[in-house]
Structures are given as C-alpha cells and as structure tokens.
Structure 1
C-alpha cells in the first residue's frame, strides 16, 4: 500500500455551506487538527479580498446593501459580473487543487438556491465530495456577528433564510450547541477522516 501523497490524484473535498458567523472557519480549523490526512482550508472570504478595493461595494463586484425598512436590520448581497467571475474562478481553483491530489475543506456561502452545489458536483466529479450544512440559531448568529466586529450587521439575518435553499447535505451541523472541536469530531467520524 502506498503513502497517501503517492496515490492517484483523487482528493477528498469537504464543502461547508452556511451563513456568515455560522462557525464554518472555526469548524474547518478544528477539523484540520483531527483528520488523519492534511486538508487545506479554502475560504470564500479570502477570494473576496483578492479583488481590487475599488470593487468593494461596487455593482461590478459585490454590493452589501441594507434592506429598506427591515427591522431588525438586514444586509443583502448583490453580485456583479466581476464578482460572479471571481466566485466561479474560486470553484475552478478548488477543482484544480483537487485534481492535483490536495484534500480540502471549502468554506462557502451559497445564495443561488443550490446552483453552487451543482457547480461543485460537476467540477469535482472525479473526487470524493462531502457537503456539510453549517447552521446556528439566528440569535446566536447575530451575537457572533456583533462580536466579530468585521461584518455589516444584518448579513447573518438576511442569509439565514436563504443559504440552505435548494441544498442537500451529507451532514448537517448546528454550531449553536457544540464547540468547534465537537463539531469537527462529528464530521471526522461521519466521513471516517
């Protein structure tokens, strides 16, 4: 039996989908600590910061806009043409790394009623892919969002009712009632990582 790094380039890709402040990043980092094989952590947020600053809150990139009349506040996200290319490129980059034999945990936010999952299934058809829905009660999401201090308040509320529409999961995790380490062990055991 050969070592994992000498095997054919079929990767394991774990895709975490959930709202901002759901705990995806904390879960991914904890999961990296408990898996028997090394997993890269790929964050959608890192790709968003790659775009030129002039496209922040610009119609071609991503616009974070308050929902008029929403109380408590909600912040919607509009994706422009450049933003759509960036997110498509991220998913293709994930596929390219998987084709190189790199295992990954992908930290993503889906807002197109499951179309993102269809993209991943198509791009990663030669790999073992696990979809994990990450959620928490809205009150906890909002507490985390405020505590972080780096998000527009209201993103979690707006995403909460949208992010899981049309998605199907191999596992669902509620981070509201467990630590990142407990959640990571649940994922590790479910997929025998």
Structure 2
C-alpha cells in the first residue's frame, strides 16, 4: 500500500506551517505534518555546533555540511518509508540548497505519489511575520523568500500574502483531486 506526499517548499515565515495545518483539517485521511524544523528539533545539539553540521548564521543564512547531509538523507528516507507504508504526509521544507534538495526528496520518495507545492510570500511580508516570531533569526525570511524557489519545479504555486490558508488548502485539494475531510 502506498500513501501520498505533499511537499510544501517555501522560505522561512512564508506560511507553510499554517497551510499544512489547514490541509490537515481539509483533507480526508490522517495526514502527518513533518518538516525540516522537525528534523532540526530531533537532531542532537552538537549537529548544530560541529564543522560540517548545520549552521544558522546571525545574518539569517543557513549552511550545512556533510554531517548534516547524512542525517538529513536518513530522515528523508524515513519519511519516505512512512509514505511507502501507506502514510499520508505533508512535508514542510525550505530548499536552501536549491534544486539538489528537490532531487534528493525525489530520490528518497521514489514511486510514492508526490505533489510539489511552492509556498510564496513577498520578502517584506515574510520579514514582517518573522519579526512577530520569537524562534527565528532576523533576516532569514527575506533571504529565503525567493531563493528557495529558484530552479524548483512545482505542480502548483500559491501566495499566502493574498489568500488565506483555508482557501489555499481548498484550492490544493481541488487541484490534486483529493477528498474532503468528513
């Protein structure tokens, strides 16, 4: 039995989490919401402290090295295994490494039906949202607003600055021809 995956790619504070929660309410079945933040929270703190790990720069930049890539690849394969076992999964990610991130997800997910959704938000709006959050480094949202979309191929793109998450979730459901939650 194969499940299904919806990948939401967007910069920090673009509205991915709010949209993912709206999708969970809108779509039939029990969709798990997993994201790169899930991975970072689950990772040992030393992965953020070592060379080759994940570095969150004070200017909002993000760099990752080979140690983080190994852990991330394992995590991607684990998420793919959930979907391959019949799970319904919404992935929240920000492809800071560009098209290679999408390629790695494609490889991990294999034949699992996957929808690629670009979650856009103008840099100024994302920066304003970022200021309202205590868990973000200032500058990250503006840096990622456009860069995470370069070279990425989507089934659908949405703009969370002009339409609310519930309406977008309905549009995604219709676009993917999925059932509505009871």
TM-score by length of 1: 0.87
| Equivalent residue in structure 2 for 1:186, among 161, 171, 177 | 171
- Is the contact made by 1:135 and 1:173 (CA closer than 8 Å) also made in structure 2? yes
Q: Superposed, which structure 2 residues align to 1:61-80 within 5 Å?
A: 61-66=53-58, 74-80=59-65
State the 1:171 CA deviation: 0.4
| 1:117 Cα deviation from its structure 2 partner | 1.4
| Aligned residue in 1 for 2:45 | 53
1:158 to 122, 139, 143: 143
**Residues 24-173 of structure 1: pairs in structure 2 closer than 5 A:** 24-66=16-58, 74-173=59-158
Contact 1:44 1:90 in 2 (8 A): no
Matches of 1:161 and 1:190, distance apart in 2: 23
- Contact 1:18–1:133 (8 Å) recurs in 2: yes
SS at match of 2:170: helix
| Cα distance in 2, alignment partners of residues 178 and 29 from structure 1 | 15
Give CA deviations for 1:105-139 in whole Å, capped at 9, x if unaligned: 10011022211211222222322110000011111
Q: Deviations over 1:66-87 (max 9, x none)?
A: 4xxxxxxx42111022211222
Give structure 1 stretches of 5+ with no counterpart: 1-8, 67-73
For residues 55 and 119 of structure 1, the distance between their equivalents in structure 2, rounded to whole angstroms, comes to 20
Equivalent position SS for 2:161: helix
CA contact (8 A) 2:77 2:109 kept: no
Is 1:175 the equivalent of 2:160?
yes
Corresponding pairs, count = 178
Q: Are the equivalent residues in 2 in contact too, given 1:138–1:156 (CA < 8 A)?
A: yes
- 1:5 is aligned to none
CA contact 1:16–1:107 (8 Å) conserved in 2? yes
Structure 2 SS opposite 1:177: coil
Q: CA deviation at 1:54?
A: 3.0
What CA distance in whole angstroms lies between the structure 2 residues aligned with 1:20 and 1:84?
A: 20
Structure 2 CA distance for aligned equivalents of residues 177 and 39 of structure 1:
25
